[in-house]
Each structure stands twice: as C-alpha cells, then as structure tokens.
Chain A
C-alpha cells in the first residue's frame, strides 16, 4: 500500500495538518494497522522534497505538527497516475485496491476505470498462466492453478465492488 499516494489523495479534499491526515487515513484505511506519527511526517517530508505537497501556513506554537500541508499540481498529477496504473496482479491487494477505489470516488474520478484497468491487468496475467498450464506437465498445471484461483478471487471481489460503487459512494459521502 502506497501511504504517500493515499495521503496525497486525502489532501485533494483540502489542506490538513499531519495529525488530521493521520486521523483521516486511520479512519478510512487503517482498520487493523493505524499509521505511526513517524510514518506520517517522514512521508510528508518526502512529498515536500518531491514537490508533491507544499506548506500551507503554520499555526502559532512550534513543532512540525502545526504545519498545514496542501497538495500541489505535481501532486495531483502523481495521484492521477497512481490511480490510472493497475497494480501488479498478486494476491492480497485488497488494501491498495480498496484505497484506490475510495480515493477515486472521494475526488469525483471514475472508480469504474480503476476497476476496469485492474481487471484487464489481472486477466492478462491469468492468460499467461493459462497458456503455461496448457504447455506444462501436471506439476506446472497445479502450480498455475493455485495462482489462477487466487487471482480469480481478487477479480470476483473487483466485480462485486464494481456492482456496489453507487452504494459505496453514498456511504463515503456521509
């Protein structure tokens, strides 16, 4: 899961403090693994260095947690590219895919496109495995089948999610 991209995605809603960002992240994506403050600030300083966020005012008092961060145009482009690039098909992608779908919906982009691109990447990998299976011996077949069933499970989840996007959009908007 790319924390940097998730934070950028959240910043598209408006500038926030590091503390705010952590809370927003944990609430949406941190179900069983909330972020450490250290992770938030090291990620933000990397984003700052890369020009994907800029400082948007400092409140009275000191300490890094007082700074507000805003996403830059380069940051928006980077989120855009991340959402548009399917993940390398492999098991246990749910966290990243879920975050992409939610962030696409939050920012008014097309979540359907994220899902379609991912389906297409998954199927391309599955085709390769299917061909290897046809040419291989039984051991090859069994190994490929293992991967195929796992990728299929991902895809079923994608289809189910695609069918419930409207519902999800409503829930997220709350």
Chain B
C-alpha cells in the first residue's frame, strides 16, 4: 500500500541539475534510507517529497492527493498535520524552552496550551529528554537537542517523518541512541520514515534503502 509516490522528478538550481528523473515509493509504516554520494540530490529529493520545494516537473502524490498542484496553504496544512521533520541541526526555536518547542506544532494546529504541553511531556519522556523540558535548546547537548527535535516531529502523530542526516552532528553512541528511539517510536506509531544518511550504520535501522546517484534514484528491493 503506497502512501507517498514520487515519479520522474526533475529539479534544477540555475544550471545545476539536482534531480533528473528521480522516483520513489514509500509505503505506510516503512523506514526507508536514502543514500548516495554528496551532491547526488538526496536533500533535494526529500524536500520535493515533503512539499517544501516544488519540482520543475514530475509528480508527488500523497494518498491520492497531488502535492505539486495543491495551493500553498493546502500544502502547508498537509505538512503540519501529516508530516514530521528532523534535520541535522538548527530546527528548534532558540527563544523557547524545549517543552515549548515540542508543543509548538500542536499549538500551531490550535491545540490548547495545557493539552499541547501534556502531550509534549509524554513525547519527551519517550525520547528520554524530560529532564531538559525547561531548558532552552542552546543549553542542551547535541544528542539531547536531536531527541527533542524527534519528539517535536512525532508529537502530532505524523504519517511520514522526514529526517535529513538526523545524526550527522552526533558521535556514534548518541547517534545510535537517536536512531534507536526514533525508529522504535515510528514503528510503535506506524509512521513511515524517510531517512537521508551517509552512514551505513544509521541506514541499518531502515527496512530498505534507495540509492540516489546523479539525481536519479534507484529502489533496492525490500529485503528482510
């Protein structure tokens, strides 16, 4: 059952052709690693899949809805309610506490402060960062910050979590901890994960991998 399907994506930045016919199918609940050399178009592909970046041509379909022809507001609504995001760094609002950061996506969807913060606390406990709830992101370690970011990505109950090098700035032990908690939580909630990574040990948390080379992607058969 496919949840998110991209077909024949092309995207150029000026003269740089970042995507040249990339395609990808994500099924509900699966964890897919997107691998490939630096500059091959992994992040661009992720941004197109998530509706952050419009492709020049090609289609992205989420549950029978075509992202590329949707209005901007419909697309942001979809991103807010169905998708979660974890990046390498810089995604938490520095002025807010970690708890407020995790609660933010719910607040933006109109959930009352008390309810939002209760849900946020639960997610922070699951990600083992409840101890830093009242600190600001700048006052946490890199590993804690990433786990706060994962809690924030999952708090809305997304169907797809997009993670671009989520462990890129962490040492092995902290990276593994983030991956273990992220994938365990995703499996428990049935969220699919699109995981861009250079690191084979990080990709080993996935169910299968897709290799991007020169802006083209190649699905590797599901092996379990």
Contact = CB atoms under 8 A, between A and B. Distances in A.
Tell me which of B33, B37, B211, B224 has the highest count of chain A C-beta atoms within 10 A of its own C-beta. B211
Nearest to A115: B211
Interface string B53-89: 0000000000000000000000000000000000000
B14 interface: no
Interface in B195-224: 199-201, 203-207, 209, 211, 213, 218, 220-221, 223-224
B202 to A, nearest CB: 10
Interface in A138-166: 148-149, 151-152, 155-156, 159, 162-163
Nearest to A153: B200
Contacts of A127: 204-207, 223-224
A134 interface: yes
A134 B180 contact: yes
A120 B200 contact: no
By secondary structure, the A interface counts as helix
Contacts of A130: 201, 204-205
**Chain B, interface size: which category?**
20 to 34
A112 B36 CA distance: 12
A59 interface: no
A145 to B, nearest CB: 9
A122 B200 contact: yes
B204 A126 contact: yes
B37 A159 contact: yes
